Amino acid sequence: MSEEQFLDVAVEAAKNAGEIIRKGFYQTKNVEHKGQVDLVTETDKACEDFIFNHLQKHFPDHKFIGEETSAALGATADLTDEPTWIVDPLDGTTNFVHGFPFVCVSIGLTIGKIPTVGVVYNPIMNELFTAIHGKGAFLNDSPIKASSQDELVKALLVTEAGTKRDKNTLDDTTNRINKLLYKIRSIRMCGSLALNMCGVACGRLDLCYELGFGGPWDVAAGAVILREAGGHVFDPSGGEFDLMSRRMAGSNGLLKDKFVKELGDTN
90 annotated among ligand-binding-site residues: yes
Q: Output DSSP code: residue 216.
A: G
117: exposed, middle or buried (Cβ count in 10 Å: 0-12, 13-18, 19+)? buried
Closest C-alpha to 208, from 267, 151, 160: 160
2: exposed, middle or buried (Cβ count in 10 Å: 0-12, 13-18, 19+)? exposed
| Phi and psi torsions of 227, nearest 5° | -65, -40
Answer yes or no: are the C-beta atoms of 263 and 251 closer than 8 Å.
no
The residue type of 53 is N
Q: Output DSSP code: residue 152.
A: G
42 annotated among ligand-binding-site residues: no
| Angle of CA points 244, 246, 250, to nearest 5° | 100
91 annotated among ligand-binding-site residues: yes
What residue numbers does the annotated binding site for Mg(2+) cover? 67, 88, 90-91, 218
What residue numbers does the annotated binding site cover? 67, 88, 90-91, 218
